[in-house]
Structure 1
Amino acid sequence: MNRLTPSLLASALLLASAPAFAGDWWIRGGATHVDPKSDNGRLAAGALRVDIDSNTQLGLSLGRFLTDQWAIDVLAATPFSHTARLNGAESVRFKHLPPTVSLQYYFGGRDAAVRPFLGAGVNFTWVYDEQERGPVAGARVELENSWGAAAQAGLLFRLSDTWHATADLRWIDIDSKVRLNGTRIGTANVDPLVFSLMVGTTF
């Protein structure tokens, strides 16, 4: 987890860098769905096709408006759980946490009923609790952590002076190196689309 420290420190500095006013901060919660792309690469010199399934968890967003248009957002979630199949056979179950820090631009004013927004930033994916089964039962499979870029597009719906809802889509570059009994056998290219529906409040 020590490799996550620079990202968290940078986000904390950005969030704290501007003077605070009422309504600058937000917290959001709702459903977040991680949908890896189809065909997640091949391992062992192309002999093993990797396919990773989708999962939905509780997503959380903490953010702050730096100006009326610019904001910084930190996406977190409860642990996602996925199954990786090798040549169609269930092989590895694993969990991951994908904290993502994004700089966002919101169109329109804060009183607008609907505000489109765009975001770009960096993701750190921490992979853990690998559980081998099927063709790799009894072996040790390790999926390494990943750093990558993230892009976002969404809509903010104003519900009241302090409450709002958001719907957004992110693309995240996640590439995890795979080791079998300590030997690297390739890279799983996850590169998911991440869908979120959240309700939030400003303070």
Structure 2
Amino acid sequence: MNAISTRTRLIAAAALACAAAAPAYAGDFMVRARVLQLDPANENTTDAVIPADSVSVNTKYIWEIDASYFVTPNVAFELIATTPQKQTVSLAGTKIGTLRHLPPTLTAQYHFAPTNPVARPYVGFGVNYTHFSAVHLNAQPVLGSDTPLDIDRHSWGTAIQLGADFPINDKLSVNVDFKKIDIRTRVYAGSTKLGTVKVDPVLFGVGIGYRF
């Protein structure tokens, strides 16, 4: 069992334990809409064909919608979703193609001051699943080969989250949110593995929340 699979199982077990331990509570729902800056780490480990840390994915702004369910006043589970995002992939500074990724994320959150009228900070820890699609990569401009590049289409990783809600009234709030997500995939030329790309983006977002 690899490290990512082990971490995923531990996260799932922790989430179930939190839900089982929660006292009876008529939970609230909250939905948020955010605008995010997606800033990839752009690290990669490769063989001698592609130099280390030479593969990069562009920084961009994306939108995000999430839904949270509060099982207690302090504990919530948040599902974060968006549409497939198109990214430009470069090798040694030269564009080699594009791909799309869909990265739904589930976090378990602890809210430190759920009734504070000014600021309601929280932390979260969870699991991310990313599906890659529409992969069109060609290393010919850099490597001089017409062999198309391909990647694994599925990635599982952990996610950490810090944020705060700033109430406007009983229902509406302004939200600020920071996430670090593990997104990694292996790169192939034909059947030859060239290495692993660590996208591992940092996402900083601001948005509006509605609680009901």
Partner of 2:178: 169
Q: How many residues are treated as equivalent by the alignment?
A: 194
Matched, 1:143 2:151: yes
Matched, 1:102 2:107: yes
Matched, 1:36 2:44: no
Query: Which of 53, 57, 61 is residue 52 of structure 1 equivalent to?
Result: 57
Matches for 1:46-85 after TM superposition, within 5 Å: 47-48=50-51, 49-85=54-90
8 Å Cα contact 2:86/2:99 also seen in 1: yes
Question: What one-letter code is carried by the residue in structure 2 that aligns with 1:169?
Answer: F
Per-residue CA distance 1:112-161 (angstroms, 9 max, x = gap): 32111100011111111111246268533222221111101111111111
Question: What one-letter code is carried by the residue in structure 2 that aligns with 1:87?
Answer: A
What is the TM-score normalised by the length of structure 2? 0.80
Measured after TM superposition, the shift of residue 54 of structure 1 is: 1.3
Partner of 2:195: 186
Matched, 1:27 2:31: yes
Find the residue that maps to 2:140 and give its secondary structure: helix
8 Å Cα contact 1:164/1:200 also seen in 2: yes
> 1:138 and 1:128 mapped to 2: Cα distance?
21
Q: Which runs of 4+ in 1 moved over 6 A?
A: 16-20
> 1:45 and 1:99 mapped to 2: Cα distance?
34
Matched, 1:130 2:135: yes
> 1:101 and 1:161 mapped to 2: Cα distance?
25
Partner of 1:195: 204
Question: What one-letter code is carried by the residue in structure 1 that aligns with 2:115?
Answer: R
Measured after TM superposition, the shift of residue 40 of structure 1 is: 2.0
What is the TM-score normalised by the length of structure 1? 0.83
Partner of 2:168: 159
Unaligned residue ranges in structure 1 (runs of 5+): 1-5
Unaligned residue ranges in structure 2 (runs of 5+): 1-7
- Percent of pairs identical after alignment? 29
> 1:127 and 1:32 mapped to 2: Cα distance?
19
Partner of 2:120: 115
Is the deviation greater in 40-49 or in 91-100?
40-49
Alignment RMSD, CA only? 2.8
Per-residue CA distance 1:54-86 (angstroms, 9 max, x = gap): 122210111111111111001111222211211
8 Å Cα contact 1:59/1:77 also seen in 2: yes
Find the residue that maps to 1:45 and give its secondary structure: coil
Measured after TM superposition, the shift of residue 110 of structure 1 is: 2.2
